[in-house]
Structure 1
């Protein structure tokens, strides 16, 4: 009998396991894939997440970047530089496995290559079924991502899952490269190119309305603008479970974290940092529950709603306006000298969308009227 079983060994699950193991609890991580494993994801992480951990992330960082470049329909380029700490570019097979290893150093156990086939509540503990037999724990953490079954099995309402596409291209990448964002090439969404040391992660996602079956044509056009042949890379689908309202994140002796809880920014699609923070908060709550606090898991839901979740309606409102008229958003928003500074501050958690939303929407509305 474990204190906690964490299903899913991505950043949110590994963060939960790390902090629970740090408190001396017996923790088992279950991961259906064999680690390390490739994860379709463009892999941008704000270094501000390090404040929640007491180890050096350097071995897991592929490169750190400050330069940002924006385009609209591949033209009207804007070059800028982050005034905050540089954004970390990570390869998820490295980053996720590194986090798991940090949890293991504190005593957390791992069973990778082990899919969960069913769960059953036994009153004061959970029974988790796997191909290798049943496992038991007093508490359960669902960290199995956007398309994992755990949230449904636990009785949580379904969320819409959008599919982004990521083209991974091995290619020489110079030191003068930038974090790239493209607006206008696809409807009601955006594209991006996040360089790694030995290649590009070129992505596309539709945030509003009906998404196309795939973004392959747009990916081909965008990749060619960097002198990269899409034929030399591989396109992967990447599910996005964007925040769409505050919902309970806990049930009897169980919590949701990360993308399983739809903790993904509906404007930027940032999921790694908020997912890791949800793991930290979930670990705090489970620790308190094990110590005898009957309201601890409910407080986890309240904490996430009052901090991260309270800001997401503003992110969604900005997204709803910006992605409908990206040309105006680009002209009155992205081209402003402070735009990149605000981007870095939001990703670092230094500025909330609520702090800037009224100004952004006023400019956008003014742009609509003048247009």
Structure 2
């Protein structure tokens, strides 16, 4: 039976990033994906400059558009355009991006098996760790924030046994990058997702009846979807057109997508490759690691609630997972708990603030769109945020004591949304 330092399940942005970084530093790595590559993946395909900056490899071979402008509308009403002198975001397709990242991982020395799905995970004590608080990684390494001294006498852990559609492997570490409904989280008893959004998208091939300027702008329609928005993202040969909302509003997505197409003069019947997907959202301290197993990217629920963008957090979590895997392999730690703490310290604060801003924004979007249209200062702030020159944490520091007001009104907005959901769910069940 082949044995690896690490098996990475899922060759998306998070998994391939972790696999490449581990292989570059001398670890033996098996990278698995259930699909044959190149394969499509439901995703808008926007790569922010902030996301690109996290990567230390060139992404230009798979960038299809560089975007300098955005076309905004409110509830499919009148639209307005804003432009910026510098790039706002890049556009790619996941079939190309993921293949590029997996190729780089393989080039670094990772063994890449596409078309091979993970079926089972077995590890000593895993069942106990799922149910016993004393077996959580914190119990192995001490309380959060504590530092465990390196011990040369630490016993060598028993390998994880991983069954796939093709074979069986042993690994010292398993990194789950297999998405919101992946095998890794279920096998390890991890459930980091507190809430879920959903999205529906399709591709509209360019044709003479589509205005040429759609090749240069992203389209964003706000206010018409519960907690989400409609989008039009230009690629080299088509427009990726989609809608996203809270999971309870799933039934609205198909008609909303049709309405979005009609609003912009597109023929909805020409949409190709229509597909839906889940957007899991993690809350702070939700478990994403147990023993020698860790979740990254969508599997860990690391998605920006306000934008719905997950590629940046996939890159960031893949890098953190690689760093802490190397520490574990070197015997410096007893588990992957340090990875979870690093996510809570370095990634989750941004997601928490984004979640507060999401509640505020979708509670009353018209004032924010009015500012976007009429205030150059607000537009420039938005551009700096999108480009990664400012973070959500920077925004909180900028507003200072007004953070109290932000939290108060975000709480009000959240309670009102939850009240609407409570009233709506019984009606939906009766349909």
Q: TM-score, normalised by structure 2?
A: 0.78
Contact 2:227-2:358 within 8 A present in 1 as well: no
Contact 2:192-2:287 within 8 A present in 1 as well: no
SS of equivalent to 1:210 = helix
Contact 1:140-1:253 within 8 A present in 2 as well: yes
1:251 aligns with 290
1:42 aligns with 44
Show CA shifts across 1:188-225 (max 9, x none): 42111111111111111114x73132411111121123
Question: Which of 192, 216, 230 is 1:177 aligned to?
Answer: 216
1:285 aligns with 324
Contact 1:8-1:30 within 8 A present in 2 as well: yes
SS of equivalent to 2:315 = helix
The reply to whether residue 302 of structure 1 matches residue 341 of structure 2 is yes
Is 30-39 or 287-296 further displaced after alignment? 287-296
CA distance in 2, matches of 1:69, 1:205: 17
Structure with more of its chain in helix, by fraction: 2
CA distance in 1, matches of 2:235, 2:69: 13
Contact 1:78-1:335 within 8 A present in 2 as well: no
The reply to whether residue 165 of structure 1 matches residue 204 of structure 2 is no
SS of equivalent to 2:229 = strand
2:174 aligns with 140
Q: TM-score, normalised by structure 1?
A: 0.90
CA distance in 2, matches of 1:78, 1:255: 44
Matches within 5 A, 1:110-149: 110-122=112-124, 123-149=157-183
In structure 2, the gaps of 5 or more residues are: 125-156, 413-431
Q: Name the count of aligned residue pairs.
A: 364
Pick the structure with greater CA Rg: 2
2:100 aligns with 98
CA distance in 2, matches of 1:149, 1:210: 24
The reply to whether residue 153 of structure 1 matches residue 187 of structure 2 is yes
Structure 1 246/338 Cα, relative in aligned 2: closer, same or farther at 3 Å? farther
Show CA shifts across 1:152-178 (max 9, x none): 211112523332111211124735531
CA distance in 2, matches of 1:134, 1:249: 24
The reply to whether residue 221 of structure 1 matches residue 259 of structure 2 is yes
SS of equivalent to 1:41 = coil
1:187 to partner: Cα distance:
3.7
In structure 1, the gaps of 5 or more residues are: none
1:84 to partner: Cα distance:
5.1
SS of equivalent to 1:338 = helix
CA distance in 1, matches of 2:44, 2:228: 16
Q: Root-mean-square deviation (CA), in Å?
A: 2.4
